């Protein structure tokens, strides 16, 4: 998507520390949130839609 952690957290309104914790595997990214982020990225043309 071409964003760094700070840009990603600002863009999606997620606390920066939470994003850091996901990457460090201190917290698990909820499945529903992953689907919402993916959906938004697809709708904005940031990534191609998955055909499955």
Domain assignments of the chain as residue spans, ordered by start:
5-43
Mean pLDDT of the residues in the chain: 88
Buried b (16+ CB within 10 A) or exposed e, 3-28: eeeeeebeeeebeeeebeebeeeeee
pLDDT tens digits, one per residue of 4-22: 999 999 988 999 999 999 9
Structure confidence at residue 47 (pLDDT): 66
Q: What mean pLDDT comes out for the span 21-49? A: 88
* pLDDT score, position 35: 94
Q: Is the pTM of this model over 0.85?
A: no
Q: How far apart are CA 27 and CA 34, in angstroms?
A: 13
């Amino acid at each position: 998507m071409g964003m760094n952690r700070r840009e990603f957290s600002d863009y999606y309104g997620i606390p920066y520390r939470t994003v850091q914790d996901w990457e460090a595997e201190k917290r698990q990214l909820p499945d529903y949130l992953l689907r919402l982020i993916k959906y938004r990225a697809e709708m904005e043309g940031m990534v191609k839609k998955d055909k499955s």
